[in-house]
Amino acid sequence: MLEMKTWRTLATALALIAAPLAFAQSTPDKAMRIIAAGPPGGTLDVVARLLAEGLQRELDRSVIVEAKPGGGGAVAVNDLMQAPRDGNTMVVTLDALVSEIPHIIKLRYDMAKEVKPIAELARGGLVLVGNPSLPARNLPELITYVKANPGKVSYASYSAGTVSHVMGLQLNKAAGIDMSHVAYKGTPPALVDVMGGHVPLMFAGIPNAVPLVKSGKIVPYAVSLPQRSPNLPNVPTFTELGYPQLEALAWVGLWLTPDVPAAAQNRLREAAMKVMAQPAMRDRLTEFGLAPGQPRTPDELTKSLHADYERIGAVLKAIDFKPE
């Protein structure tokens, strides 16, 4: 019951963040629409609403946000495919849409061809966390403990085939340990089970983990970022601890279909980059556990997606992973 209360409190807090950012819809032919590929109050919804708030001022247009979770972003993309290709409808979702999800789910669309990232809005990483009952307070102690208990320690992921799963496989190989994997359908139920001691470890998104770390409900061991997280300044990076192969970033992007006119793509990219670069916006992202996005070009983003797709695919192929 305590764990569920914690998640109700977290959900309420996220809803309060998102609530002031709702926008009144004006006439449909003048409104722009952002489809957030996640649940209301979640990370993608919050980033989408922050962007919408800024675009409304920057472009002097009404902007509405619709949360459409499901299928790792596939539900949101399906909606995008049905919309006019004029740049007035866009999707906010994670890079996993192209780099991870096609390995996990048999999709209707070839995401690498059907959608195009035009701007990186925010980025974040994962943190390895554990139940406080574990007799380890840092990563070296944890690895020693797992080695002393072969086959007895498991870790959760928010879905099989995602970076949350792959990082455990990489740590197994790098540290010479044998943690077993337990897949969940989403982060909240996985973290509830970590807090309850049903599964001892998890690679969790930093925004989801921070409130629970600060309340002492879970223990952090290392973050996957290149530098320490401002939200967890006392938690070292995997690279600091000698595991650079576990450095991993996820980023939230603004996506269109490639056939949207180039002028509309450029206008949206320019406006989005301007909005997300504002100091107040960067501060709000940091408070939420995210870092500001980098000014990479669409071509640079696309190349990074291809590289990540190949890297993750190689790890999953080694364990003979098959999509659902």
Sequence-ordered list of residues with C-beta below 8 angstroms from that of 96, at least 6 positions apart, any chain? 72, 73, 162, 163, 250
Model confidence, pTM: 0.81
Say what the pLDDT of residue 23 is: 37
Q: Which domains does the chain have, with CATH numbers?
A: 2-123+249-316 (3.40.190.150), 126-248 (3.40.190.10)
pLDDT tens digit sequence for 159-218: 888 899 999 999 999 999 999 999 998 888 999 999 999 999 999 999 999 999 999 999
Tally the residues of the chain: 324
Torsion of CA 213, 219, 220, 221, to 10 degrees: 170
pLDDT at 226 over 90: yes
Choose between 175 and 107: higher pLDDT. Answer: 175
Q: In what order do the strands lie in the sheet with 89-94?
A: 63-67, 32-36, 89-94, 250-256, 116-124, 291-292
Q: What is the DSSP string of 66-91?
A: EE---GGGHHHHHHHHHS-SSSSEEE
Q: What is the helix (H) or strand (E) element at residue 256, kind and residue range?
A: strand 250-256
How far, CA to CA in Å, does 10 sit from each of 47, 207, 208, 215, 266? 17, 11, 9, 12, 37
Ranges of beta strands (E only) in 15-142 are: 32-36, 63-67, 89-94, 116-124, 126-130
The 10s digit of each residue's pLDDT in 277-316 is: 999 999 999 988 899 999 999 999 999 999 999 998 998 8
What's the pLDDT tens digit per position in 249-274?
999 999 999 999 999 999 999 999 99
Mean pLDDT of the chain: 89
Instruction: Give pLDDT tens digits for 227-254.
Output: 999 999 999 999 999 999 999 999 999 9
